[in-house]
Amino acid sequence: MSEYTDKYKNLVQHILMRGTKQVCRNGSQLIIPSYSFTIDDMENDHKLLLRKMWYKGVKGEFDTLVSDEPLTNVSQFEAKGCNYWKLWGGPNGELSLDYYNELHPALENVINQIKADPNSRRHVISLWNNEHAFDDSLSLHCCWHNHTYSVINGVLHLTWTQRSVDTMIGLPADIYLAYLFMKHIADICDLKVGSCMFSLSNVHVYTEHIENANELLTRTEDDFDKKLDFELKG
């Protein structure tokens, strides 16, 4: 079993055993306050192999977020093969996202910083804007909101921070997204991809996903082609 698969199953089991049932804005959940783990070799161990995943959609999401074209509509995600952002678009697909508004200038700045001074300890991307925290100006508030990059002996490492984690659907996609950010920066800056620590808060499994979560715990990597359906929550 891969390092990632093993650590992911440990997290799911921990939530099912120790999570507290709690009502949330879109249903009910089992929730734990925090959890962290590190994948030591993101280059070779960044994909979950216990169920089919739509990696093309996550890649399309990444390509849209880093595009130079201002992000204003769901159709821009869909044009790159990412169809799930329609859950958060307005009546005509309009979007307002700090995922783009805060990310775009910060990502360019970090890349330039790494090129100029790779050994600096200030390679930080922060997406969380407190002015938007409790208003309705955003289509979706940032779940992953902080990247801290470190360069050690030509290897790029990342600490990825999330304030809220949908463990069954969101987290596997977020881990692949973290790899895509690392790969993007590493290629531009002529670095190798190293480790990623995931620092997670409010980590939850929706109650309607519990049955499939228990089934997932019985699986091995030989079960990759078996289907598991999870409803993505808007």
Catalytic machinery residues: 143
Q: Calculate the CA dihedral of residues 89, 94, 97, 100 and round it to 10 degrees.
A: 120
Residue 172 has φ and ψ, to the nearest 5°, of -55, -40
Tokens of 229: 């359906």
What residue has token string 């044009």?
79
Q: Are 163 and 200 in contact (CB under 8 A)?
A: no
Q: Are 166 and 186 in contact (CB under 8 A)?
A: no
Per DSSP (E only), the strands in the chain are: 20-24, 27-39, 123-126, 144-152, 155-162, 165-166, 192-206
As a whole number of angstroms, the distance between CA 205 and CA 209 comes to 6
**What three-state secondary structure class fits 145?**
strand
